[in-house]
Amino acid sequence: MAFESETLADIATKSVKRRSFRKSRSARLLLGLSGFIVSVLLTFLGLLAITFFIGRVVPIDPVLAVVGDRAPRAVYEAARIQMGLDQPAPIQFIRYVQSILSGDLGTSVSTGKLVLDDLKRVFPATLEMATLGIIIGVLLGVPMGVYAASRRGSLVDQIIRVVGLLGYAVPAFWLGLVGLAVFYARLKWVAGPGRLDIFYDGLVQPVTGIVLIDSLLAGETEIFVNALWHLALPASVLGFFSLAYIARMTRSFMLDQLSQEYVTTARVKGVSERLVIWRHAFRPILVPLITVIGLSYAGLLEGSVMIETIFSWPGIGNYLTVALLNADMSAVLGATLVIGAVFIAINKLSDVLYRVLDPRAR
Amino acid sequence: MSLLEIENLRVTFPTPKGNIDVVRGISFNLDRERLGIVGESGSGKSMTGRAILKLIRAPGRVSADTFRFDGIDLRNQSEKAMRSIRGARISMVMQDPKFSLNPVMTVGEQIAEALQTHKRLPRREIRNRVHTMLEAVRIADPERVATLYPHEISGGMGQRVMIAMMLIPEPDLLIADEPTSALDVSVQAQVLDIIDEQVKRKGMGLIFISHDLNLVSSYCDRILVMNSGTIVEECNAGDLRNATHPYTRGLIAAIPQLNETRDELPVLDRSTWVAK
Amino acid sequence: MANVRSWLIDDSPSSRLQARLGRAYRISGALSRNPLAAIGAVIILILILTAIFAPWIATHDPLKQDLTQRLLRPSGINWMGTDELGRDIWSRVVYGARITLVIVVLVAVLAAPAGLVIGAVAGYFGGWIDRILMGITDIFLSMPKLILALALVAALGPGIENAIIAIAITSWPGYARIARAETLTFKNSEFIAAIRLQGASSLRVILGHVLPLCTSSMIVRVTLDMAGIILTAAGLGFIGLGAQPPLPEWGAMIARGRSFILDQWWVATMPGFAIIIVSLGFCFLGDGLRDVLDPKSGEQR
Ligand SMILES: Nc1ncnc2c1ncn2[C@@H]1O[C@H](COP(=O)(O)OP(=O)(O)OP(=O)(O)O)[C@@H](O)[C@H]1O
Ligand SMILES: [Mg+2]
């Protein structure tokens, strides 16, 4: 599954744009900073506009979508007024933005609780899985990409290329299912669905909501190991997609670097092949790689939607899926907003890092 | 024994339309002297330089009948052996500093690397030698410049940094690929003097690649004229005026004179030598 | 034969036809030298043929239930086994090719022209038109596509038509970006200036000259995006928001096989292989096409 929305071409045009951006240093910084803040705000506003549009404009009857079609007449009317649907659209949008900013995401009809509270509860589980996934992806993907590029055309390179393409071709939910059948049911290498074995459930007090951290805080190494056991498969599935993407991008960045004149200059100096690769070819791609890793991380948060149901993982993806099937629009839009906001934040953060870290952009 | 002996050197690139030789069987010897290579753009000068270092990129190939440096047969040297020769014994000033300097390493780091690759030296000493070298190539403020990134220095400074980087390990043979094309005449003279000093003092061999026929004929001892991958003329610098090959004659005729009497400079007439 | 070939690879073609045929010849030649691209092209060809000739290729009626034949292992009669309602999985996978093909074609037909026009207009006119259009494009580009598609389908209601619309709505921004970048590269070129001097209207310049020049990079991008579209559609089907039963959509078939994955592995696994093979086919072909049509962008995508 292609867990990234921005392509390399976009990254490349960005970096080119940035390099041609010449003014005095402080003016540039100021201009860059204010422009950046404006673009972040606009993007968030765009996200709100999209969720508003999806929630109020697209459904034939948004009230029904919120209260469900079995609601009595009075409830329906109350909801209609409460949603401000008697007002013109721009007013409705302003009210919508106000209510979101005040933290009101509505109430879920499936759980009967505030969507915001629900999301706070489920988000750490997703974060835990995606974080472990991206760690796997970076630790394996970067060396694979570098190795493939340095042995261009070899058998290993071909294999890594195909693995990279498989990341675009394999459905995540299918890989999760097959993984469960093979590694859990048949080989018994990993634990099954869920975050912990049932008898460990509720034994540690949630502090961060991330079981690996909470269990360590409580000094329960046994629970920590059990949680890791349960995490292994879903995180590896996510890790596979991120490693495929990262390896592919790393390889293509490295191939581009290895054809640069300054790499030849390093060779002229007699620099060892290891240093040519890591110091001269790899160092310049660190910055774009950070962007790629950021995108991949954001993509994993998104991709978790597809696999959480399979692993009965009590995260935001599972929550969203249940809401989708029950046409629970408040919950759907709340989850969309949160995933969207995190996605945008990671995106923009990697953007900032790009500017701060690249000597050419400074 | 010459420093460099080359016989029938070929550089071949496979293309969809068959193999093409960009250097077609050239032969020459080099002692501890200054050898100039001139020729029009694309005539294979840079490729010759790279071939000597065995740094032609795949899928390009280098072959030769004789290919000896200081008595070492370069043809059967392993990559590892070549690495100990590159930089330390043969080094090459690359043509375009804009592309040949690493954009994310400071100038100082890159020069120091040329030194560190072959010698273990204390950090202080390396710093001092980098600064001395930068001063030698007429960079006014070496301490500051050493901390700059390549995009922060001018093209002429880039060329001098490049020269500093390749001279600092004190090689036996320096290939300088248009090292001074972006320098004004006075700085050019100074930089050439520094290279010259290494030739005289250390007995370094120099291959000086250039477009500038006048410069080459006044600076070098001997001159090779290349055209489409072959050596069409080989002569002592002083004898260039008596060159016989029509290509060389054409090149000489195309140089504007101080006391110019012609209304129009002649254009190279390729038919005279391409036909044969 | 040699004559035809030299006519085709002539560096200075004397007619448009010769230029076009020559280009087609060179592209097909380059593709056939690239083994992965050739494999990709064959896979896509097989997909298309399977979709067209499904009734002849399928061995059973894809919708016919037979509860006495439930959950049979793959065998000589049921090549990929049967599902929990006794339907032949092979036949369902074959008919599923039709659904997949319809989805990718419709998404491409909806999203690519929309993105193309938006990008070309933004690039051609520049100024505030450009800023507004690209602002919207960028906002869409920094959204999570899959989640957006899910939310859209939730609002529109489940079903294959809505899934197609939702995927198209989330796909156009990428094309707009490419079309704009391409337009900018030749907006100020001599030949566009010459056409303008002849008094052509903006509309004619864009439609007649700018858009055709964007097509090769668009084709590359659309082909590369196909895998993502297939996966998103399958994902929607898997969650239950895409194609509805009893349509033999691959993602929905995997969802049904979920409960049997431990004992009757084939029910969920087989449609997955179909998705992987077709997606890989598009990736291989897209990679190959890019190397041929758009060498500038190199390996990057
Ligand atoms: N990778 C390659 N494949 C095929 N031909 C190549 C390749 N690299 C270089 N060439 C060809 O080799 C020839 C010689 O190039 P070279 O760089 O040596 O020229 P040059 O004499 O240094 O020119 P200039 O004065 O412009 O630097 C050129 O005609 C070039 O087209
Ligand atoms: Mg050259």
Encoded tokens for A150: 């340095």
Residue A330, CB half-sphere, CA atoms under 13 Å: how many? 27
In chain C, residues with a C-beta closer than 8 Å to the C-beta of A173 are 235, 238, 251, 254
Q: How far is the CA of B177 from the centre of ligand 2 (A)?
A: 7
Taking residue A98's Cβ as centre, other Cβ atoms within 10 Å add up to 10
Tell me if B218 sits within 8 A of B237, measured CB to CB.
yes
Q: What mean pLDDT comes out for the span C273-289?
A: 92
DSSP C295: G
pLDDT in tens, B235-244: 888 787 777 7
Q: Inter-chain contact A302–C150, Cβ cutoff 8 Å?
A: no
Encoded tokens for C174: 């990428």
Strand locations in B129-213 (E): 173-177, 205-210
pLDDT in tens, C115-153: 999 998 998 888 899 989 988 898 888 888 888 899 899
C-beta B49 within 6 A of ligand 1: no
The DSSP code sequence of B38-70 is EE-TTSSHHHHHHHHTT-PPTT-EEE-SEEEET
Nearest chain C Cα distance for residue A15, angstroms: 14
pLDDT in tens, A270-310: 999 999 999 999 998 988 898 899 889 988 988 888 899 99
Please report which confidence band the pLDDT of residue A93 belongs to, taking 50, 70 and 90 as the band edges: confident
Structure confidence at residue B57 (pLDDT): 87
Q: pLDDT: is A22 or B247 the higher one?
A: B247
Rounded CA-CA distance B126/B106 in Å is 15
Structure confidence at residue A3 (pLDDT): 41
Rounded CA-CA distance B127/B130 in Å is 5
Please report which confidence band the pLDDT of residue A24 belongs to, taking 50, 70 and 90 as the band edges: low
Q: pLDDT: is A212 or A71 the higher one?
A: A212
Type and span of the H or E element at B28? strand B18-30
Tell me if B255 sits within 8 A of B214, measured CB to CB.
yes
Residue B120 in 3-state DSSP? coil
Q: How far is the CA of B43 from the centre of ligand 1 (A)?
A: 7
Strands B90-93 and B4-15 come out as unpaired
Nearest chain A Cα distance for residue B178, angstroms: 15
Residue B227 forms part of a structural domain? yes
Name the percent of chain B lying above pLDDT 70.
94
Tell me if C124 sits within 8 A of C206, measured CB to CB.
yes
Q: What mean pLDDT comes out for the span C167-175?
A: 92
Look up residue C77 and give its amino acid. Answer: I
Structure confidence at residue C295 (pLDDT): 57
- What residues have CB less than 8 Å from C205, skipping those under 6 apart? C124, C192, C195, C196
Residue B14 in 3-state DSSP? strand
Phi, psi (deg, nearest 5) at residue C241: -100, -15
Q: Measured between CB atoms, does B46 come within 8 Å of chain A?
A: no
Q: Measured between CB atoms, does C145 come within 8 Å of chain A?
A: yes
Q: Measured between CB atoms, does B173 come within 8 Å of chain A?
A: no
* Distances from the Cα of B195 to the Cα of A153, B137, B192, angstroms: 41, 9, 5
Q: pLDDT: is C103 or C214 the higher one?
A: C103
Minimum CA–CA partner of C238 in chain A: A173
Residue C150 has its nearest CB partner, among A8, A170, A320, at: A320
Q: How far is the CA of B44 from the centre of ligand 1 (A)?
A: 6
Minimum CA–CA partner of A328 in chain C: C154
Rounded CA-CA distance B85/B77 in Å is 10
Least confident of B88-97, B259-268, C226-235: B259-268
Mean pLDDT in chain A? 84
Q: What value of ipTM does the predicted structure carry? A: 0.88
> What is the pTM (predicted TM-score) of this model?
0.86
Encoded tokens for C61: 């009626």
In chain C, residues with a C-beta closer than 8 Å to the C-beta of A330 are none
To 10 degrees, the CA torsion angle through C217, C222, C227, C232?
140
Nearest chain A Cα distance for residue C257, angstroms: 10
Strands B34-39 and B222-227 come out as parallel
Please report which confidence band the pLDDT of residue B260 belongs to, taking 50, 70 and 90 as the band edges: low
CATH number at residue B104: 3.40.50.300
Structure confidence at residue B258 (pLDDT): 64
* Statement: residue A12 has pLDDT above 60: no
Residue A22 in 3-state DSSP? coil
> Residue written as tokens 């042995």?
A151
Residue boundaries of the structural domains of chain C: 43-293
Rounded CA-CA distance A1/A307 in Å is 11
Look up residue B242 and give its amino acid. Answer: N
C-beta B97 within 6 A of ligand 1: no
pLDDT in tens, B131-141: 999 998 888 89
pLDDT in tens, C41-53: 999 999 999 999 9
Name the percent of chain B lying above pLDDT 90.
38
Closest CA to C293 of C211, C181, C213: C213
Rounded CA-CA distance C241/C164 in Å is 11
pLDDT in tens, A100-116: 888 888 888 888 889 89
Residue B238 forms part of a structural domain? yes
Minimum CA–CA partner of C176 in chain A: A10
pLDDT in tens, C5-21: 777 777 777 777 777 78
- What residues have CB less than 8 Å from B120, skipping those under 6 apart? none
C-beta B46 within 6 A of ligand 1: yes
* Statement: residue A137 has pLDDT above 70: yes
- Which residue CA neighbors atom 7 of ligand 1 most closely? B13
Residue B193 forms part of a structural domain? yes
- Which residue CA neighbors atom 18 of ligand 1 most closely? B44
Structure confidence at residue C300 (pLDDT): 40
The CATH classification of domain C43-293, taken from the options 3.90.850.10, 3.90.1170.10, 1.10.287.1080, 1.10.3720.10 = 1.10.3720.10
Beta partners for residue B222, in sequence order: B35, B236
Rounded CA-CA distance C19/B274 in Å is 31
Closest CA to B109 of B85, B90, B134: B134
Residue B14 forms part of a structural domain? no
pLDDT in tens, B68-83: 998 889 888 898 999 9
Structure confidence at residue A239 (pLDDT): 95
Residue A312 in 3-state DSSP? coil
Residue A87 in 3-state DSSP? coil
- Which residue CA neighbors atom 19 of ligand 1 most closely? B42
Structure confidence at residue A14 (pLDDT): 47
Residue B117 has its nearest CB partner, among A260, A270, A283, at: A270
- What residues have CB less than 8 Å from C87, skipping those under 6 apart? C60, C62, C63, C64, C65, C66
Encoded tokens for A143: 């060396």
Name the percent of chain A lying above pLDDT 70.
89
Residue B104 has its nearest CB partner, among A266, A267, A359, at: A359
Residue C256 in 3-state DSSP? helix
Name the percent of chain C lying above pLDDT 90.
36
Structure confidence at residue C298 (pLDDT): 44
Structure confidence at residue A8 (pLDDT): 44
Structure confidence at residue B166 (pLDDT): 92
Least confident of A257-261, A265-269, C182-186: C182-186
Q: Inter-chain contact B102–A360, Cβ cutoff 8 Å?
A: no
What distance, in Å, lies between the first and last C-alpha atoms of chain A?
Answer: 35
Residue B227 in 3-state DSSP? strand
Containing domain of residue B174, as a range?
32-52+77-272
What is the distance of C-alpha A301 from the center of its chain?
3
* Statement: residue A253 has pLDDT above 90: yes
Rounded CA-CA distance C105/C109 in Å is 6
Residue B65 forms part of a structural domain? no
- What residues have CB less than 8 Å from A159, skipping those under 6 apart? none
Q: What mean pLDDT comes out for the span B154-168?
A: 90
Q: What mean pLDDT comes out for the span A111-132?
A: 91
The domain total for chain B is: 1
